[in-house]
Amino acid sequence: MNRAPRVVVADDQALVRTGFRLILDAHGIEVVAEATDGAEAVDAVRRTRPDVVLMDIRMPDMDGLEATRRILKDVGDTDAPRVVMLTTFDLDHYVYAALAAGASGFLLKDVTPEHLVAAVRTVRAGDALLAPAITRRLVERFARRAPETASLHRGLAALTPRELDVLRLLAQGLSNAELATGLHLSEATVKTHVSHILAKLSLRDRAQAVVVAYETGLVSPGARREGAAGGEVPA
Clarify whether residues 152 and 54 are in a common domain. no
- Tell me, yes or no, whether 168 lies in a domain: yes
Last residue of a domain, one of 140, 159, 182: 140
Last residue of a domain, one of 124, 140, 156: 140
Clarify whether residues 48 and 116 are in a common domain. yes
Last residue of a domain, one of 113, 140, 167: 140
- Tell me, yes or no, whether 1 lies in a domain: no
Q: Residue 78 gets which letter from DSSP?
A: T
pLDDT score of 227: 44
CB atoms within 10 A of CB 89: 10
Q: Tell me the residue range of the domain where 172 lies.
A: 147-233
- Tell me, yes or no, whether 124 lies in a domain: yes
Distance CA 66, CA 43 (A): 13
- Tell me, yes or no, whether 127 lies in a domain: yes
Clarify whether residues 106 and 219 are in a common domain. no
Closest CA to 39 of 17, 62, 58, 56: 62
Clarify whether residues 86 and 41 are in a common domain. yes
Clarify whether residues 134 and 162 are in a common domain. no
Clarify whether residues 92 and 166 are in a common domain. no
- pTM comes to 0.73
CB atoms within 10 A of CB 147: 7
Q: Return the axis-axis angle of helices 206-215 and 92-101, rounded to nearest 10°.
A: 120
- pLDDT by residue for the chain (235 residues), tens digit each? 578 899 999 999 999 999 999 999 999 999 999 999 999 999 999 999 999 999 999 898 899 999 999 998 877 555 789 999 988 876 767 777 787 778 888 888 888 999 999 999 988 887 777 665 666 666 666 655 545 444 545 568 899 999 999 998 888 777 788 889 999 999 999 999 999 998 998 887 787 787 788 778 787 765 555 443 333 333 3
CATH no. for residue 74?
3.40.50.2300
Domain count, the chain: 2
Clarify whether residues 87 and 57 are in a common domain. yes
Clarify whether residues 132 and 191 are in a common domain. no
pLDDT score of 233: 31
